Chains A and B, each alone.
Chain A
C-alpha cells in the first residue's frame, strides 16, 4: 500500500524527514511512534499526497503522488492532526458535503453518513453545529468523515492527542473495529500505549529518522528487558545512587525523578535493592513498554 525509499522532506533549509524507508502491506495496522517534531506529520502529509516529497521514492497504492495525486486521494481516508471540520456546518452536512467531493451520488452519501454517525455514536448530534461538539466528538467526526469514501488506506495523524482518557478509549475501540474489518491503518502517535494497542508493526521515529522497526512486542524484546523496577528517591539523589544499584540490573536509566532498573525479574531486583539498605520513597515494578524502547534508543522520553 505504501512504499517509501530514502524519503526526505525539507522546509527551507530544515530537513524534517531525513531519508526513511517504509513498507506497509495491505491489511496492516502500521504506526509511526515518535516525540513532537520527529517528522511524523511531514511524513503523513507526503503519504496523503498533499505535500510533495523533497527527494526519494514514494509510491502509494502503486501510484506516484506527484503524477496521480487525485487518483490516490480518491482512495485514501485522511484524519489530519488538526481537525479540518467546517464549524459552521452541521455534523451530518460535514459528512455529506465531503462525500460528494469523491463523486458519490447523493443517496449513497446520505446512507453512508447515517451509517457512520451510528458507528461513531454521533447520531443524536447529527443536526448540531460542529463548534458545539466536544474534542472527542470532533475527532470521531473527523474519522467518520475520512471513512465516507470507504478508503483502501486510512491515515490517522495523532488520532487521540488532546483527548481525555475516556474519549481516547472510545476512539481506540472504533479504530480496533476498523482494523478487524481489514482496513489498512497508518497512524502516528507519541503515546506508546496507543502504538501498543493498535499497531501490528511500527517504526520509532526521532529527528526525522527511523531508529527502530518491528512489532511492539519484538521491539520491546529486542531493545528492553522483560520488566522494569522504578525507584524514586529524594530529589537530586538519583544520579549518586545509580552507581550503587548498577550491578543489580542489566541496565540502569537515570531520570530526573526516578531510577529505572531494567531486569528480567523486577521483584527480585527490588528485594536486592532493599538488602543493600536502600530505601526508595516509592517503588513500582512493571513490564517494559515502548517508552523504554524509545528511552533506550534515543536517551530521551517520548512525552515531555
Chain B
C-alpha cells in the first residue's frame, strides 16, 4: 500500500466537529437557561440591589479601583467567574460520562484519533461554550454603563476565553483520573466557590489579610478578574496585563498536558 501523509492534528480535531455538534444540539436548551439566567441574577442581586447600598455608603471610585459604580466594579468579575464556572462544569460530569457511562473516549481512541486530538477537541468545545455564554453576558451588560471604552469591551471577550481555558484543562485533567463523580464536590468546595468569593470579583483583594492576598493572587480567577477589569475600566497596565495573560496561558497549557497524561494512563492499559 502506498504510504500517504498522515493527517495533521488540525484535521483530526476537525473530524470530531460533528460529534460536538450533536452534543451541543442535545444540551443547549438545558445549559442556555443556566448560563444566561444565572449571571443576570447576579447582576440584579449583587450589582444593582447590593450595589445600591455600596454606592450610597460612599465607597467611591477610589475604594473600587476607579469603577464608577459597584456594578461596574463587579461586572468584569462576574464575567470571569462565569467563564470559570462554565469551563469547570464542561470538564466535570460530561467527562465522567465519556469515561464511565458512555465510554465515548474508549470508542474515540479505537479510531485513528489520538488522545491529544480528543483532548484538544473537547477543550475547544468547552471554550466555544465559554465564549458563547460570556459573549451574551457581555452584550447584556452593555446598557448598564459598565464599559469605559469600546476596545476594552471587545477585548474582555477573548480574556474570558483565556479564563475558561485556565479552568477547562486542569479540571479535565483532574476528572480524567477520578473513579467516581464524588470528587467533583471537592472541586467546588476547595476550588470554584472560594475563588468565586475571594478572588477579587466582589471586593478588592486589598481588603484581605496579607497572606490571603497572596493566596488570591495565585488563583487563575484573580488573574482573569484583574485583566478583565483593566479592560472594562480602560485602565490598562501593559506589563501586568502580560503577566495575567502568561499566567492564564501557562495554566491552560499545563492543564492540557496533564489531561493528556492522565487520560492516557486511564485509557491506555
Contact = CB atoms under 8 A, between A and B. Distances in A.
Do A and B share a complex? yes
Interface of A: 11, 48, 50-52, 69-71, 73-74, 76, 78, 80, 82-89, 93, 96-98, 100-103, 106, 145, 149
Contacts of B18: 96-97, 100, 106
B15 A50 contact: no
B112 A103 contact: yes
Contact of A87 (B102, B111, B267): B102
Interface in B84-112: 101-104, 106-112
Contact of B107 (A51, A69, A98, A100): A98
B101 to A, nearest CB: 7
Contact of B112 (A74, A83, A86, A89): A74
Given A70-B6, A80-B107, 18 more contacts: A48-B110, A50-B106, A50-B110, A74-B111, A76-B110, A84-B102, A84-B110, A85-B102, A86-B104, A87-B101, A88-B102, A89-B26, A97-B18, A98-B111, A101-B15, A101-B111, A102-B15, A103-B15
B22 A97 contact: yes
B2 to A, nearest CB: 12
A83 to B, nearest CB: 8
Interface of B: 6-7, 11, 15-19, 22, 26, 101-104, 106-114, 267-269
A82 B103 contact: yes
B268 A100 contact: no
Contacts of A74: 111-112
Contacts of B6: 70-71
Nearest to A11: B269
A52 B268 contact: yes
Contacts of A11: 269
B102 A50 contact: no
A81 B17 CA distance: 27
B14 to A, nearest CB: 9
B16 A101 contact: yes
A78 B106 CA distance: 11
- Most chain-B Cβ atoms within 10 A of its Cβ — which of A11, A71, A83? A71
15 contacts: A50-B106, A50-B268, A70-B6, A70-B112, A73-B111, A74-B111, A80-B110, A84-B110, A85-B107, A86-B102, A87-B101, A93-B22, A96-B18, A98-B107, A106-B18
B101 A103 contact: no
A145 B111 CA distance: 11
Contact of B113 (A52, A85, A101): A101
A100 B19 contact: yes
Contacts of A145: 107
Nearest to A142: B107
Contacts of A88: 26, 102
Contacts of A101: 15-16, 19, 108, 111-113
B112 A73 contact: yes
A111 to B, nearest CB: 15
A51 B16 contact: no
Query: Considering the complex of A and B, which 3 residue pairs feature the smallest CB-CB distances, nearest first?
Result: A101-B111, A84-B107, A84-B103
A63 to B, nearest CB: 10
B124 to A, nearest CB: 16
- Most chain-B Cβ atoms within 10 A of its Cβ — which of A69, A76, A80, A97? A97
B225 to A, nearest CB: 35
B157 to A, nearest CB: 30
A80 B110 CA distance: 9
